[in-house]
Amino acid sequence: MSLKVLVGCKRVIDYAVKIRVRPDKLGVVTEGVKHSMNPFDEIAVEEAIRLREAKKAKEVVVVSCGIAQAKETLRTALAMGADRAILVELSPKEYEIMTPAHVSKILAAVAKMEGSDLIILGKQAIDDDCNATAQMTAAHLDWPQATSASKVEVTDAGLTVTREVDGGLEVITTQLPAVVSADLRLNEPRYATLPNIMKAKKKKMTTLSLSDVGVELKEHQTVVSVEEPPVRSAGIKVKDVDSLIAALKQAGRI
């Protein structure tokens, strides 16, 4: 089996950054803030590359929907080992109203154009925390979905996927083509080495517009406000186990 794999990559504020709410209270400050590839997408890229290394996949195409800077994210994916990249470019203004509803349509359109057999995405982006794009992409294509995957095996019949669910793990099989979303336990993403970063500069990156993929940006949702969450007031340090037990008894917790 030699699959054409499409992997989605989102550029997000780095997971270690402590975000700040914008003064206009309609978003968070992104300017001058460190961005990187969404950690779940790194896992998705890694999984696709491993499939190619195991000769289950013949080509890994990475795609991002976003502003021009998303090219850096795609370069990172190319340096990890992806073959080719596609940026579906939006203006910063358009990007503000983009939700998984739009991304899923864009990904579905690209998958059709590319003749993809398998789409691997992260289970959620750590900025909007939506956990929806993979499911919606599968729906638009009428493909099966395997979300929160911690193990993916390509078989003659399709895929056997172990999923992380609330009570433990679950195993399902799907036919191909299919959409998979990666959970944290799927693999450990590799670091891009310097020679690979150099090689990545020569790999092909195509830029498409929304009209190229035939997707309109309807404003499904309007952000009313973005605010800081309530802060917890600082507590106290207790000196030993006895004081801790006393404090908890006093608070009525034990």
Partner 1 sequence: FTTFYWFCFQLPIAIRPELFSVQGSLTSYFLICSTSNFPAIMLGLSRHTFRLYNRVGVRLQSTLVVVEHDNKHLNPVTLSAITAASQLGGDVTCLVAGSSCAAVAAEVAKAVGVSKVLLADSADLEGFLPERITPVILASHQKFNFTHIIAGATAQGKSLLPRVAAKLDVAPVSDVVAIKSPDTFVRTIYAGNAMQTIKSNDPVKVVTVRGTNFATAAAEGGSAATETLAIPDLPKHLSSFKEQKLSKSDRPELSGAKSVISGGRGLKSGENFELLYKLADKLGAAVGASRAAVDAGYVPNDMQVGQTGKIVAPDLYIAVGISGAIQHLAGMKDSKTIVAINKDPDAPIFQVADFGLVADLFKAVPEMTEKL
Ligand X SMILES: Cc1cc2nc3c(=O)[nH]c(=O)nc-3n(C[C@H](O)[C@H](O)[C@H](O)COP(=O)(O)OP(=O)(O)OC[C@H]3O[C@@H](n4cnc5c(N)ncnc54)[C@H](O)[C@@H]3O)c2cc1C
Site for partner 1 in 17-46 (CB under 8 A): 18-19, 21, 28, 40
Distance CA 43, CA 192 (A): 13
- Exposure on the CB side of residue 162, measured as CA atoms within 13 A: 9
Residue 39 or 95: which CB sits closer to ligand X? Answer: 39
The 155-174 site mask, x for binding partner 1 (CB under 8 A), equals -----x--xxxxxxxxxxxx
Supply the DSSP symbol for 112.
Answer: H
Residue 208 binding partner per list partner 1, ligand X, none, with a CB distance cut-off of 5 to 8 Å that depends on partner kind: none
Distance CA 62, CA 46 (A): 11
Residue 85 or 217: which CB sits closer to partner 1? Answer: 217
Q: Which stretch binds partner 1 (CB under 8 A): 30-38, 78-86, 129-137, 204-212?
A: 129-137
Residue 31 binding partner per list partner 1, ligand X, none, with a CB distance cut-off of 5 to 8 Å that depends on partner kind: none
The residue from 6, 144, 154, 187 that contacts partner 1 (CB under 8 A) is 144
The residue from 24, 31, 129, 156 that contacts partner 1 (CB under 8 A) is 129
Residue with tokens 């968070």: 28
Residue 166 or 202: which CB sits closer to partner 1? Answer: 166
Beta carbons within 8 Å of 14's beta carbon, 6+ residues apart:
33, 34, 35, 36
Strands 178-182 and 118-122: parallel
Distance CA 121, CA 6 (A): 9
